[in-house]
Each structure stands twice: as structure tokens, then as C-alpha cells.
Amino acid sequence: MNQGVLFAAAAYLLWGLFPIYIKWLQAVPPAEILAHRMVWSLAFVALLLALRHHWRWLREVIEQPALLARFAGSAAFVSLNWGVYIWAVNADRVVDASLGYFINPLVNVLAGWLLLRERLRPVQWWAVAIAAAGVTWLTWQAGTVPWIGLTLAFSFAAYGLLRKTASLGALEGLALETALLFPLAFAYLAWLAIDGRNAFVAAPASMQWLLAAAGPVTAIPLLLFAAGARRISFSLLGLLQYIGPTIQLALGIWLYDEPFPASKAAGYALIWAALALYTVESLWRTWRRLPAAAPGG
């Protein structure tokens, strides 16, 4: 259990610190950062697979076109998620990006009800309604829909749904997704190089190393998360997932001096209240299901 908590918390901590890494790459266009993420992630996971001599799963993929199609969908959604997130961080919208990962758990609950026919308990309905009220308040105050947060929340929910129903593990799934994305990413980077606009080619060595680090920076938190999720309860994992957006919000406000007026804070407060209600109810139900301790145990 303790090891699982450590793995999961480390994954969410690294995800929370992503804005710092992306800010270091601010001189590089977001689309190019995303392309490097695809290319170097494949190189990193291919190295891990080679070290483990772990290639049998490829036969399963070749024999199941439906599985390949599912991962093509998950690759598209995670690319949309990453693309919007990178753009938001480099556009000084870290606070707005954090909103997506705060409301993502409730979007997952709603997706389960809509697509998997999962029943929602009354408290879960209340949590979704309160979060919707928070989003409505933010929309009314800003005069525009908080599209960054909503895009991040719904794209990650779609990605999670596709991965939840797929049979490959974290490393194999990441390898397949990046392999599907690699031709597009490599072609885009090659076109930029031919056109004389490839930032990697003209960048100093320090920037080139930072771009190459997109591989492990992407893969390591995912592998830590997978290792932690196997060792701890789903409820505890759900509690730990707020580490990431909380760090992102703190970075946006206190490190990058993004505005966070009282009007916006009120909308976030509603969403935090919804998350607190959902989390406490989930923990309470988990506690109720725990078997009674044996006498003298």
C-alpha cells in the first residue's frame, strides 16, 4: 500500500510540475513541442521494450484490428489533450488549464453514466450539478465558455474511457499510441526542417536536450501511475489525483502571476465543493464496505 501511494503521488506530482517544463520550451511553437513529444516518447518506450525483450503483444495488435482502431482513437484524444495543454501553458493560461483536471473526475462519472450505463448515486448527481453550476458561473463572469478546461476534461475522459476498455498495459499502450502518431509527427518535423522553421535544428544543445526529454517526461509519470494504481484502492487513487491540478493552480497564481480574481475563485470554489462531496461520499462507501476486524485481530 505504502509503495503504491508513493508511486501514484509521484506521478501526480510530476504531472503537476509539467507547466515548469513546458515554460522552459516557450520559445518553441506548441505544435512542434507536441510533435517532439510523440517522436521521443516512441524512442523512450521502444528502448524500455527492447531492454525487457517484450514484443509478443504486437501479435495481439496485428490480429485484432478493433484494438488498433481503439488505440488510434485514444492517440487522437491524448494528442488533443496535450496540444491544448501545451498551448494553454505557453499562453499564460495555467490556471484555466488546471480547471480541466479538477473537473475531469466528475466528467468521468458522467461519461460512465452516459456510455457505460453505470448508475449514479444521488450524491454523485449533486456533485455533477454543483460542478456544472461552477462552470456556468465562470462562463457568465468571463462572458465566454471556459473552453480550455472543458476541452482538457472531456478529451482526457474520452482517452481514459478508451484505455479502460482496452487490453494492453500502460507501457504497451503508450508504445502503440506513439507508434501510430509517429509518422505524422516525424513528417511535420521534417517539413519544418525543409522549410527552415524547425526550432530543434537551430536551437542550442540545452534546448535540444529539453525537447528530447519530452519522451521520458511523458512516459515516466504514466508508468508510475500504472504501478501505483495496481497497488492501492480506487478511492485513494481518486483522492491523490487532485495533487496535479492543485500544484498547477498554485504555479499559475504564485509563480506565473496569472490573474485569479474573486469572481473566478467563486466558480472554482463551487467545483472544489463538488469534488469534496464526491470524494467524501466515495471514501465513506469504501469504509462501509470494509470487512469488520476479526476479534483480537
Tens of pLDDT, residues 175-223: 999 999 999 999 999 999 999 999 999 899 999 999 999 989 988 988 8
Q: What does the pLDDT average to over 9-13?
A: 91
Closest C-alpha among 137, 134, 85, 69 to residue 107: 134
User: What pLDDT was estimated at residue 235?
Assistant: 59
User: What pLDDT was estimated at residue 285?
Assistant: 77
Q: What does the pLDDT average to over 28-49?
A: 94
Round to whole Å and give the CA distance between 263 and 286.
Answer: 35
Tens of pLDDT, residues 254-291: 999 999 999 999 999 999 999 899 888 877 877 777 66
> Which residue's C-alpha cell is 502518431?
181
pLDDT at 169 over 90: no
Instruction: To the nearest 10°, report the CA torsion of 66, 69, 70, 72.
Output: 160
pLDDT at 292 over 60: no
User: What pLDDT was estimated at residue 139?
Assistant: 93
Percent of the chain with pLDDT over 90: 55
Round to whole Å and give the CA distance between 151 and 104.
Answer: 10
Q: How many CB atoms lie within 10 A of CB 121?
A: 13
Q: Dig out the grid coordinates for 2 from the structure.
A: 505504502
CB-based contact 228:6 (threshold 8 Å): yes
- Residue 168 DSSP code: S
User: What pLDDT was estimated at residue 233?
Assistant: 67
User: What pLDDT was estimated at residue 294?
Assistant: 43
Domain ranges within the chain, ordered by starting residue: 2-287
- Please give, one letter per residue, the 3-state secondary structure of the chain: CHHHHHHHHHHHHHHHCHHHHHHHCCCCCHHHHHHHHHHHHHHHHHHHHHHHCCCCHHHHHHHCHHHHHHHHHHHHHHHHHHHHHHHHHHCCCHHHHHHHHHHHHHHHHHHHHHHCCCCCCHHHHHHHHHHHHHHHHHHHHHCCCCHHHHHHHHHHHHHHHHHHCCCCCHHHHHHHHHHHHHHHHHHHHHHHHHCCCCHHHHCCHHHHHHHHCHHHHHHHHHHHHHHHHCCCCHHHHHHHCCHHHHHHHHHHHHHCCCCCCHHHHHHHHHHHHHHHHHHHHHHHHHHHHCCCCCCCC
Closest C-alpha among 103, 189, 105, 204 to residue 146: 103
pLDDT at 157 over 90: no
User: What pLDDT was estimated at residue 40?
Assistant: 95
